[in-house]
A and B are shown apart, each in its own frame.
Chain A
Amino acid sequence: MTRGRRFTWFGLYAIVVCGFLVLPILAAVILSFSSSSILSLPPPGWSLQWYEAALSERRFVSGFYMSLRIAVAASLIAGVTGTLAAVALNNYRFGGRDTLRLLLILPLIVPSIVIGLGLLQSYTLIGVNGIGFWQVTLGHAVIGVPYVVYLVLAAMTHYDIRLEKAALSLGASRLQVFSGITLPLIRTGVLAGTAFAFLISFDEVALSLFLTRGNTLPLRLVQHIQYYADPSVAAVSTLTTLASVVALVAAGLILRRGARRRAMEP
């Protein structure tokens, strides 16, 4: 009996904390449907005017495309390079392995404002303009790498290296082994890592401050909040949140269906 009651108190506590976690996200969604430009909750009335305003605001639309291009390129670079490195870290012993492991986790610990400043000062040192697509994209790729490495390594915890050895001894090439055996087995980790790198890049503010003209979507939204703070910001972030949740759920479903299909194969 006491056991049951204690769990109820814990359950209530869990509901309160979950409420705290969800509350501001919900508040932003609710306010995006407000009929007023004042930050008041509950809103005085309902309308879709902020969605209209957001979608016709050219600074948001161009910022969205800018952020999308950077995030796609950065997450692809981080996804490919991070996956190859994680496979090497998991499957082989080589000189400098521990140093490499530390180096690849480091961008997670070093503040991105520091990485951004370092990149700006480095570009200036070698006489390259600090502002540009590849200048900022490679910075974003760096902060995506730890997520890819970590999630691919996590997907490899039960990885059986003997499968690779068997294929090699049967005469398969290194490329065939990688694409036919390694990659299918670690696909979940690769996709999850790349998706995370994409989200991190799409949301990055501090690094982009130094290396863009303030023309990514998060920077445009920050500027808009500082000057207007009207609910069009809430409308934009509700749309991008919706997009990322839909993308994650879709990726999860695809992975699950793939797993089922593989399980049904003899």
Chain B
Amino acid sequence: MSAAVARRKPRDFYPYLLVLPVLLVVVPFFLLPLGVLLRNSLYRDDPRLLLVPDTTLVNYVKLLSDSYYSGIFLNSLGIAFLIALITLFIAYPLAWYMVQQKGRKLTILLWCVYLPLIVSVISRVYGWMVITADSGLINSLLIWSGLTEEPIRMLFDPIGMTIGMVHRYLPLMILPLYSALNRLDRQVLSASSTLGATGSQSFFRVILPLSLPGVFVGVQLTVAVVLSDYVLPLLLGSSRFPMVAPAIHDEALSMLRWASAAAMAVLTIVAVALVIVASNLLLRWLAPWSRAK
């Protein structure tokens, strides 16, 4: 491919002309605002003046030492890794099955995976409210079958939120796994079975290691999106189990503590970046061949 890429003369301004419009959108409306957040996170909050210029780490110290704030970050990171783990275990066998299919069966499977991505998040939330409510589908079934007499509380609870998030983010785990397993060389698999590997040996020694890059992409994506989820914690979760995105909103618009909210936003980005960098390092160590690209 790279041989086909044109090597232009150094003075050619054409590629920069193509890039200019997107920079006019992304620099002032994305990059600079992130810089403003970073600067504001070093300011002090004042009940009357909103923001007082300063250069202090007092907001960060508060976020890390106050158990309310550190609890928010621990909750969110814990849920993010939990969702990544659950979706990974659900998605892997399905992605493996999808790779074996073709034709109409594959089309139906892909539609099932893409459908939740197309449908609005409100509709999915409402569906889960209907299913997990006290008079909803699961509790009706439980009471009808005699397993319980009282409905089990799931909605407005971390359990209901977790179910909703597993559903919302399962496609984001399935798709990278599917494409990683799809790229796998079939000849390697038949080689391992002709050489006498059992099913589980081929899986743990051949398939799983070769699909690790897909696993890591899925986990990184899932952790990032769970940390940024606002709607599901708000509508399916409980205020007794605060999550970071609704907490940033409250801090900025209800409490009007802009410096503190900016520091929370910066810490969230740092958390996402740390997860991505750490997992990339782990992947390099576990699967050194994936670096070849």
Contacts and interface: CB of A to CB of B under 8 A. Distances in A.
A53 interface: no
A25 B116 contact: yes
Given A10-B97, A121-B40, A205-B121, A162 B130 contact: no
Contacts of B272: 109-111
A interface secondary structure, majority: helix
Interface in B1-38: 1, 4-8, 12, 14-16, 18-19, 21-22, 24-26, 29-34, 36-37
Contacts of B230: 113, 205-206, 209
A264 interface: no
Interface stretch (B64-72, B183-191, B200-208, B257-265): B257-265
B126 A233 contact: yes
Given A77-B25, A93-B5, A225 B269 contact: no
A103 B19 CA distance: 12
A245 B117 CA distance: 11
Nearest to B13: A94
A253 B96 CA distance: 29
A26 B128 CA distance: 10
Contacts of A13: 93-94, 97
A118 B4 contact: no
Interface in B115-150: 115-116, 118-131, 133, 135-137, 140
From A14, A164, A210, residue with most partner B Cβ within 10 Å:
A14
A100 B19 contact: yes
Interface in A62-79: 77-78
A112 interface: yes
Contacts of A203: 120-122
A174 B18 CA distance: 11
Interface residues of B, number: 82
Interface string A225-266: 110010001101110110011001000000000000000000
Contacts of B258: 121
A113 B248 contact: yes
Contact of B245 (A42, A113, A248): A113
A41 B25 contact: no
Interface string A7-34: 1001101100110111111111001000
Interface residues of A, number: 91
Given A121-B36, A203-B121, A234-B126, A94 B16 contact: yes
A185 to B, nearest CB: 14
B140 A91 contact: no
B224 A109 contact: yes
A17 B110 CA distance: 12
Given A14-B97, A14-B109, A225-B126, A165 B29 contact: no
Contacts of B119: 25, 237, 241, 244
A92 B8 CA distance: 7
18 contacts: A7-B97, A18-B112, A80-B21, A81-B22, A85-B19, A88-B19, A92-B14, A93-B5, A93-B6, A107-B30, A111-B224, A111-B268, A125-B36, A145-B25, A160-B4, A222-B231, A225-B125, A248-B118
Interface of A: 7, 10-11, 13-14, 17-18, 20-28, 31, 38-42, 77-78, 80-82, 84-85, 87-88, 90-94, 100, 103-104, 106-107, 109-115, 117-122, 125, 138-139, 141-142, 145, 149, 157, 160-162, 164-165, 174, 199, 202-203, 205-206, 209-210, 218, 221-222, 225-226, 229, 233-234, 236-238, 240-241, 244-245, 248
Given A40-B136, A84-B19, A112-B228, 7 more contacts: A94-B8, A109-B224, A122-B32, A206-B228, A210-B253, A240-B120, A241-B123
Interface of B: 1, 4-8, 12, 14-16, 18-19, 21-22, 24-26, 29-34, 36-37, 40, 90, 93-94, 96-98, 100, 108-109, 112-113, 115-116, 118-131, 133, 135-137, 140, 164, 167, 170-171, 224, 227-228, 230-231, 234-235, 245, 248-249, 252-253, 258, 261-262, 265, 268-269, 272, 276
